[in-house]
Amino acid sequence: MALKPLFGKNLPYGQFDGLDSQVTSSLGGEVCTFTYVALATDTHAADVEDGYMAAANTRAAVTSTLTTGARPLFLCDEGTSGYGTIFGSLVGATVGQIVTGGAVLGPHTAAGSGKVTLWDAHGMYGITLDAVDTTVNSGLVPTNPALVGGDAIYATAAGLLTPDAGSAFEAVVLGRFIEFAPNGNLVTSSLGQIQGLNSPTGSSAPGAQFDMAVIHWAPELS
């Protein structure tokens, strides 16, 4: 759904053309690198045409497909939800009584230019839980019983953050896991605020609605 820069010297690295086959399917928060495509085979905005590599007249494009030795590595900041007021849930129907969740009320953020914003600065970032490795017992999810604070974070070959070194495209540490957190929206009441202990609607303790994994991003350069 989205990448959320939280604290630190979080300035974007820049905007680069996204690979046609991936650019509009990104959720935001994936790990990306550069691939090189022929100038005539991948569509792009006009200002990208000045990019050039001597080998077969190629230029850089952003991809979330990671292979051994892929460098540099970035966090991707594009998606369809969580990037502005026109994205999210639709409130309406009969006098506003129905909330339709998950409706995409606008285009993908890369639709206007085909570009992807990349982040490389060390700092604290939140990545929504739909854009990480969601394997129940080994992924970056609250249901992973082996996950503890300070665990190393890697990336799968598909660019998904994971604490499981066995699922990583390469044994390169990209950061450290801090915690799971809600979306931080003070307008939305959490279950912990409205659900009492031993509530019939919950378990023995108030539940938490986790929205994102909070990590310290500090990728190794070697």
Mean pLDDT of 103-131: 84
Task: Write the CA distances from 168 to 32, 40, 122, 154, integer angstroms.
Answer: 14, 33, 20, 6
Reported as a single tens digit per residue, the pLDDT across 166-190 is 999 999 999 999 999 987 665 555 5
- Rounded to an integer, what distance in angstroms lies between the CA atom of residue 23 and that of residue 34? 13
204, pLDDT greater than 50: no
DSSP per residue, 119-173: E--SEEEEEETTSB---TTTSSSTT-TT--TT-EEEE-TTS-EES-GGG-SSS--
Q: What is the pLDDT of residue 152?
A: 96
Question: How high does pLDDT run on average in the chain?
Answer: 81
The partner residues of 214 in beta bridges, in order of sequence, read 126, 179
pLDDT of residue 209: 78
CA distances from 151 to 53, 66, 173, 177 (A): 38, 21, 10, 5
Looking at the DSSP assignment, which residues form a beta bridge with residue 92?
98
The pTM is what?
0.81
